[in-house]
Structure 1
Amino acid sequence: MRKLLSISLVLIIGFAGKVRADEGMWLLPLINKLNIATMQEMGLKISADDIYSLNQSSLKDAVVIFGGGCTGELISDKGLLLTNHHCGYGQIQELSTVENNYLDNGFWAATFDDELPAPGLTVTFLKRMDDVTEDILSAVNADMTEQQRQAAIREKSAELVKVANEGNNYRILVRDFFAGNQFFLVVYEVFSDVRMVGVPPSSIGKFGYDTDNWMWPRHTGDFALFRVYADADGNPADYSPNNVPYQPKHHLPVSLKGYQKEDFAMTIGFPGSTQRYLPSWGIQERMGIFNQTLITVRGVKQDIWAEDMAASDMVRLQYATKFSRSSNYWKNSIGMNRGLEALDVLSQKRALEAQFTSWVNEDANRMAKYGNVLTSVENAYTSRADHYKANNYMRETLIRGAEILFFAANARELENALKENNQEKVDAAINRLKQAGETYFKDYSAPTDRRVLEAMLHLYAKDIDKTFHPDFYQTINKKFKGSYARFSDHVFSKSLFTSQENFNAFLNNPRLKTLLNDPAYQAGISTMEMYRQLLNMNQDAETRIAEASRLFIAGLQKMQPEKVFYPDANFTMRLSYGTVGDYSPRDAVIYKHYTTLEGVMEKEDPDNFEFVVPEKLKQLFRDKDYGQYADADGRMYVNFTTNNDITGGNSGSPVINANGELFGLAFDGNWEAMSGDIAFEAELQKCINVDIRYVLFIIDKFAGATHLIDEMTLVK
């Protein structure tokens, strides 16, 4: 078993000097072995223990998971938390009303008592990561099938989690790395009392909106402030007016010193997902099915949403978060496909696979272990193409596209309880549905969703074979002569799921017959039944892909013993390091590594909501009233670029200088390197950051919230 462990560690260790310093999302417990020497050669002044330690406070204690998909950092000893405006967008929108529109107007709490509770929002601290590879692999053997292997790993993982959970209330997981060649036990502490403290108006926090998204140059103040609260003993607790601001083990000092080209920069955060070891067939599938589905379907849906949002302030507020989330990866998918084509990544992968095949064929033992790996993965991807496309289309059209069908299908639990005539289960189902309805209808426009439903029904029928159509399509064809408009009219005129009034009236007096005859419920259940069938069809292919990926990566490390292998992102804490710098996206064009407030004014367009500039910000610019936050050249810097390796989930990550001080806030990547989740582009890939001085300038000079500045540890 020691041998198995050493094989998995070679995947990471290799020869650290052979990889570019700006490529890689590194596990913090291993940086002392792998990275610290290189980082210090690049200018880092602090030690590995200052970054990650179990025995003393370290940088990792100041960096958190914000919500379920972003990063944040503590910047005061009173639990003040900094993240991106777009990460807090959902909470800002949920707390907004037409009368108090914090998206449009911003929000700044003058005192602790003025801070707004954000129900459902959590902040998660990493306590430690333990390498449990040897323990996990002790439960498997070479004679197991892949299903048996995965079952044994799940069982062993559950044992380790149970032991680690004794005597505490931590959230503990076992996560796999390198497609199941290495495992870490990850221990988290989750705080659920989180309150909104300060957010700029969207004209600053989201300046440029979707036009500038994934683009450089940027001029966006993409930040928001929240606060973590705890009980009197500093432990996680549900919201209570008696809770107190949390005192973290470490908070980041904030640098006012600025930066120069080639200055050291590192990010610490929770990157969500990369697929750097994806084979050529997987890349074809990602581009041609997964990405293309998002591009096609979300493009249609977003056009409908945009029309209704432009026509109604209420709809604009209701759909602001939905549109932002949808368009983010719609545009990402477009850019990724273009980037992968421009870099000819498929040819590079095929060349690597050909090299792997030749290497395997040179040795009988290799043939026995790896000989079928690429054939297996090719067959798995090609055999599932039709139902995988249907699966993706159904998710984007009928589940995430038109909202009513998935919401209606949530009443299946109530149907079963009514059939059982079990009043206790009926009451429980009603309570859950009422709670879900409160959230759902607050941000729901039935006329908008009716238009979306018609469009989504048409798209699914046009692009997906009838074999994979839910049963309710037969009703559309027979009863409504194939008219998606007539069927959509029928659903929205007859269904109890179109308004909160009708929905609650039904829940107050639920009847099984009423539910079973509801057209939205019928279509929703039909959709989910077909979706489950599609998922089941995909299970065999997923198992074969998982096994082949594990063996392929293990084989690659043997074939390339001098290459450094780092694990794909999987929403565990990672560190990346690089430098501040510019880049040249095409011939004769060089982008500077920074932007200034002057660029905000140059982009201003009062007739386009994406580029409106608040009058107070314009006055501060005219007066050059930047206070202590101006650069040495007298200008107000806004955004800057580094070559750190980041992806989704890194939004809100601190950008930390050589002294361990916060000098920026990561919020985006650049259009020219959208291939980055699959292939890192060394010359073009950039991390786009908010200059921390611009954040402080907006807090202090624009918002007048100087009391928040006073909480921070400023370094001049």
Structure 2
Amino acid sequence: MKLLRVLFIFLSVPLFAQQGGMWIPSLLEGMNESEMENLGMKMSAQDIYDVNNASLKDAVPHFNGGCTSEVISNQGLLLTNHHCGYSQIQSHSTLENDYLEKGFWAMNLKEELPNPGVTATFIIKIEDVTTQVMNGVTELMPEADKQKKIEENIAQVSQSFPKEAWQENRVRTFFEGNQYMLFVVETFKDVRLVGTPPSSIGKFGSDTDNWIWPRHTGDFALFRIYADKNNRPAEYSEDNVPYTPKHFLPISLDGVAENDFTMVFGFPGTTDEYLPSVAIEQIINTINPARIAIRDAALAVQDKYMRADPQIKIQYASKFARIANYWKKWQGETLGLTKSNAVGIKQQQEKALTNQINKKGKQNEYGNLLPQFEKYYAEIEPYILAREYFFETVLRNVELLRTGFQAYQLTQVYDARGAQSFEDRRDNMVERMSGHYKDYSAKVDKEVFEALIAIYADKVPQEFLPASFNNIDSKALTEEVYSKSAFVDYDSLKKLLEGDAETVISNLNNDPGFKVVKDMAEAYFEKIAPKYEEIQLNITGLQRDYMKALIELSPKEDRIFPNANGTLRVTYGKVAGYSPADAVYYEPVTHLEGVMQKYIPGDYEFDVPQKLIDLYEAKDYGQYAENGKMPVNFIGTNHTTGGNSGSPAIDAHGNLIGLNFDRVWEGTMSDYYYDPSLSRNIMVDIRYVLFIVDKYAGATNLIDEMKLVHPKKGNKKSKKRK
């Protein structure tokens, strides 16, 4: 289970004030639509979401379960971020054909590269099923019984709601368990790599510029969805054909200007906008420092080896980027929460809620909520801290420990389900691990292990450590594990896992790497997880009641939107610069000349391909320039988070103007507190994407697929009749 989420009350805001929000697309009519029109939108809510007719939702699939993408041609051409397709680009790369280094462009369909396991999921329909899910749930039920009944109802609704045979029903909770929505989805499983710029464009600035503005990154990649002959989802087959979408996004060549309307449509992962002040203090003072310290140590080791060895650079490129992404985000998040005085503001909002509770005579129902939060967050703090250290060390940053933990889970499967389940799981693990060891370096992982085990032994509260960690010598333990454990090599691992269940388990228990994982896992599941889950279950009930109070007692004009939960959302705003510090103002658009100003020949992060330099010097920008300059990135006030990577930035008429890929560092706290003066999302200007595809790559075959328009010159999308 993830970090607890609770709710605070918003102070009243004027009608139509743009204060962030991630809105359910099927519920935009009314206040949202009016506010969007006030910001300049020329479409209707029905243009965005329509069950019976093609609409924008039909061009915005969930990319591989973690990012967003958009269909930009009638042949299923798919645009997403370079970093969203990074693992696929890496998997196709070798020292001889390094697509990370040189880029890749398919000049015809036959050259497009398959990616087993990659998916694109479309939303077909959204339906409110709160009544069905809450059927039989009563206020007097114990919390555990409520959750069990809700889960049973969700299973029943998912099974019975009408859908096509190739579709799937998914039920998700909103407003902390006060609303439930069902999503009918369609998942395509044949998604092929079409084009990617080299990392010197797609990842320009790398970790130094990550979360930073001004930004100059061409963070995009192109894929294509394939379907069977009936245009339905199918596993990869040479007989599959390009998917014909219900709708694809026309592309505007007119660019953006300050105060232009922008809408970002996508699948934001997780936000906790309604945490109380005590939880924010815990994040600032306890949770984030622990996470950052672990990743500091891991990244320092990986970076050292990647800079020295080209092979390791390829092997660890995707892993390093993944680890570094949130490491830097947590630092900016802490800075933003502190700078914006989020704790103080939330305390004021909690006082406002208390006043409303007293004014309405609701003390018996809601009067104890805030004191209970204080109590439970104090109780859970040491367990959260120990849990974060376990997750960051065992599951996220030390590869040997992560592999060992999967082996540990095998032993649990045997105990719970018997030999056949064990053998099935074991065979799957052996097959899956072949890809893992392709990108594994024991000497890198060894040094990460030594650093992180020392931190774990020192920082995890003593009562939660395994007995074997008393007076631990991390250096000696590291030498023993990496000289004797079978987990450092794929062939050794396969041999370790050969035989019947009892033989494998016996062999595992004699492996020094497995012993470390087993000790850490057993300590976690015996000493940390049960109490953590017990306290969290109590707060889950508080969250739901707190949300109920918020809905009941807030003024009608207050804007209450559901937290992000990986479902399709609309967020809208405008192109806008911002002031991060006194006497500093950032313009909202960057240009190619900024790339050249940052250029450092041969640098890991700021090198520039010679062809891009040539195009810049010749000012050979084609039809994509504006006033003789080549736009690269721009920022807006759209409320985004992880999962919005790859989301289309859409103009007032429904055309594609950009590609969301990041947020500014000072505004990363928007997962917990959206401050309109600091929160900005960062987008690739679509004209830079087209310029790279056309003038840099020469992939005019892809340009020819797209529909390019000039909405500001009168070629506007018509508005549907309501």
When the two structures are superposed, what TM-score results if normalisation uses the length of structure 1? 0.94
- Kindly provide the CA deviation profile for residues 128-153 of structure 1, in whole angstroms up to 9, marking residues without a partner as x: 11011222233322212222222221
- SS of the residue corresponding to residue 411 of structure 1 reads helix
C-alpha contact (below 8 Å) 1:335/1:674 kept by paired residues: yes
Task: Say which is worse superposed, 414-423 or 274-283, in terms of deviation.
Answer: 414-423
The one of 187, 193, 203 equivalent to 1:190 is: 187
The one of 304, 308, 317 equivalent to 2:305 is: 308
**Change over 3 Å in CA distance of 1:88–1:553 after alignment to 2:** same
Residue 131 of structure 1 corresponds to 128
Task: Say which is worse superposed, 336-345 or 698-707, in terms of deviation.
Answer: 336-345
Residue 593 of structure 1 corresponds to 588
Does residue 1:568 correspond to 2:563, yes or no? yes
Does residue 1:98 correspond to 2:92, yes or no? no
Does residue 1:40 correspond to 2:37, yes or no? yes
Partners of 1:114 and 1:495 in 2: CA distance: 42
Partners of 1:12 and 1:50 in 2: CA distance: 32
Task: Quote the offset at 1:406 in angstroms.
Answer: 2.3
C-alpha contact (below 8 Å) 1:22/1:644 kept by paired residues: no
**Change over 3 Å in CA distance of 1:280–1:323 after alignment to 2:** same
Task: Quote the offset at 1:642 in angstroms.
Answer: 1.2
Q: List aligned pairs for 1:47-62, cutoff 5 A.
A: 47-62=44-59
**Change over 3 Å in CA distance of 1:314–1:458 after alignment to 2:** same
The alignment's C-alpha RMSD in Å is 2.2
**Change over 3 Å in CA distance of 1:338–1:412 after alignment to 2:** closer
Does residue 1:611 correspond to 2:606, yes or no? yes
Residue 333 of structure 1 corresponds to 330
**Change over 3 Å in CA distance of 1:92–1:367 after alignment to 2:** same
The code of the aligned residue for 2:387 comes to N
Residue 460 of structure 1 corresponds to 456
Residue 215 of structure 1 corresponds to 212
The one of 468, 485, 488 equivalent to 1:498 is: 488
Task: Quote the offset at 1:465 in angstroms.
Answer: 2.0
Residue 3 of structure 1 corresponds to none
The one of 517, 523, 527 equivalent to 2:520 is: 527
Q: List aligned pairs for 1:654-693, cutoff 5 A.
A: 654-693=648-687
- SS of the residue corresponding to residue 172 of structure 1 reads strand
Task: Quote the offset at 1:300 in angstroms.
Answer: 0.8
- Kindly provide the CA deviation profile for residues 100-141 of structure 1, in whole angstroms up to 9, marking residues without a partner as x: 111111111111111111112111111111011222233322
Residue 155 of structure 2 corresponds to 158
Does residue 1:228 correspond to 2:225, yes or no? yes
**Change over 3 Å in CA distance of 1:527–1:19 after alignment to 2:** farther
C-alpha contact (below 8 Å) 1:413/1:429 kept by paired residues: no
Task: Quote the offset at 1:591 in angstroms.
Answer: 1.2
Partners of 2:510 and 2:417 in 1: CA distance: 18
Task: Say which is worse superposed, 683-692 or 519-528, in terms of deviation.
Answer: 519-528
Task: Say which is worse superposed, 706-715 or 423-432, in terms of deviation.
Answer: 423-432
The one of 22, 28, 31 equivalent to 1:31 is: 28
Does residue 1:396 correspond to 2:392, yes or no? yes
Partners of 2:319 and 2:162 in 1: CA distance: 36
**Change over 3 Å in CA distance of 1:187–1:472 after alignment to 2:** farther
**Change over 3 Å in CA distance of 1:668–1:55 after alignment to 2:** same
Residue 709 of structure 1 corresponds to 703
The code of the aligned residue for 2:474 comes to Y
C-alpha contact (below 8 Å) 2:646/2:661 kept by paired residues: yes
Does residue 1:485 correspond to 2:475, yes or no? yes
The one of 551, 559, 571 equivalent to 2:553 is: 559
Task: Quote the offset at 1:371 in angstroms.
Answer: 1.8
C-alpha contact (below 8 Å) 2:394/2:405 kept by paired residues: no
**Change over 3 Å in CA distance of 1:419–1:549 after alignment to 2:** closer
Task: Say which is worse superposed, 146-155 or 617-626, in terms of deviation.
Answer: 146-155
Task: Say which is worse superposed, 173-182 or 244-253, in terms of deviation.
Answer: 173-182
- SS of the residue corresponding to residue 555 of structure 1 reads helix
Task: Quote the offset at 1:418 in angstroms.
Answer: 8.2
Partners of 2:53 and 2:366 in 1: CA distance: 44
C-alpha contact (below 8 Å) 2:288/2:331 kept by paired residues: yes
Residue 713 of structure 2 corresponds to none
The code of the aligned residue for 1:431 comes to D
Task: Quote the offset at 1:18 in angstroms.
Answer: 2.3
Partners of 2:417 and 2:583 in 1: CA distance: 74
**Change over 3 Å in CA distance of 1:195–1:606 after alignment to 2:** same
C-alpha contact (below 8 Å) 1:127/1:187 kept by paired residues: yes
- SS of the residue corresponding to residue 648 of structure 1 reads coil
The code of the aligned residue for 2:371 comes to T
Residue 368 of structure 2 corresponds to 372
Q: List aligned pairs for 1:98-117, cutoff 5 A.
A: 98-117=95-114
Residue 260 of structure 2 corresponds to 263
Task: Quote the offset at 1:450 in angstroms.
Answer: 0.9
Partners of 1:486 and 1:12 in 2: CA distance: 53
Partners of 1:167 and 1:609 in 2: CA distance: 49
State the number of aligned residues. Answer: 698
The code of the aligned residue for 1:650 comes to N
Partners of 1:244 and 1:453 in 2: CA distance: 46
C-alpha contact (below 8 Å) 1:13/1:34 kept by paired residues: no
Partners of 2:67 and 2:474 in 1: CA distance: 38
Residue 142 of structure 1 corresponds to 139
- Kindly provide the CA deviation profile for residues 443-488 of structure 1, in whole angstroms up to 9, marking residues without a partner as x: 11111111111111110111112211134425xx4xxxx3111111
C-alpha contact (below 8 Å) 2:437/2:490 kept by paired residues: yes
Task: Quote the offset at 1:419 in angstroms.
Answer: 8.9
- SS of the residue corresponding to residue 711 of structure 1 reads coil
Structure 2: gaps (5+ residues): 1-7, 711-722
Residue 465 of structure 2 corresponds to 469
Partners of 2:166 and 2:84 in 1: CA distance: 26
Does residue 1:577 correspond to 2:567, yes or no? no
C-alpha contact (below 8 Å) 2:163/2:169 kept by paired residues: no
Partners of 2:330 and 2:198 in 1: CA distance: 28
Q: List aligned pairs for 1:214-293, cutoff 5 A.
A: 214-293=211-290
Partners of 1:305 and 1:381 in 2: CA distance: 35
When the two structures are superposed, what TM-score results if normalisation uses the length of structure 2? 0.93
- SS of the residue corresponding to residue 78 of structure 2 reads strand
Task: Quote the offset at 1:509 in angstroms.
Answer: 5.2
- SS of the residue corresponding to residue 661 of structure 2 reads strand
C-alpha contact (below 8 Å) 1:374/1:548 kept by paired residues: no
- SS of the residue corresponding to residue 632 of structure 2 reads strand
The code of the aligned residue for 1:353 comes to E
**Change over 3 Å in CA distance of 1:240–1:472 after alignment to 2:** farther
Residue 535 of structure 2 corresponds to 541
Residue 635 of structure 1 corresponds to 629
- SS of the residue corresponding to residue 346 of structure 1 reads helix
C-alpha contact (below 8 Å) 1:472/1:522 kept by paired residues: no
Partners of 2:117 and 2:70 in 1: CA distance: 19
- SS of the residue corresponding to residue 704 of structure 1 reads coil
- Kindly provide the CA deviation profile for residues 140-189 of structure 1, in whole angstroms up to 9, marking residues without a partner as x: 22212222222221111111101026652322221111111111111111
Residue 77 of structure 1 corresponds to 74
Task: Quote the offset at 1:595 in angstroms.
Answer: 0.8
- SS of the residue corresponding to residue 32 of structure 1 reads coil
Partners of 1:569 and 1:711 in 2: CA distance: 33
- Kindly provide the CA deviation profile for residues 685-711 of structure 1, in whole angstroms up to 9, marking residues without a partner as x: 111111101000000100010000001
The code of the aligned residue for 1:240 comes to S
Partners of 2:381 and 2:681 in 1: CA distance: 34
- Kindly provide the CA deviation profile for residues 603-625 of structure 1, in whole angstroms up to 9, marking residues without a partner as x: 10114211001000000001111
Residue 356 of structure 1 corresponds to 353
Of all paired residues, the percent bearing the same amino acid is 43
C-alpha contact (below 8 Å) 1:65/1:270 kept by paired residues: yes
Partners of 2:447 and 2:521 in 1: CA distance: 21
The code of the aligned residue for 1:572 comes to T
C-alpha contact (below 8 Å) 2:267/2:569 kept by paired residues: yes
Task: Say which is worse superposed, 553-562 or 590-599, in terms of deviation.
Answer: 553-562
Partners of 2:291 and 2:388 in 1: CA distance: 8
- SS of the residue corresponding to residue 397 of structure 2 reads coil
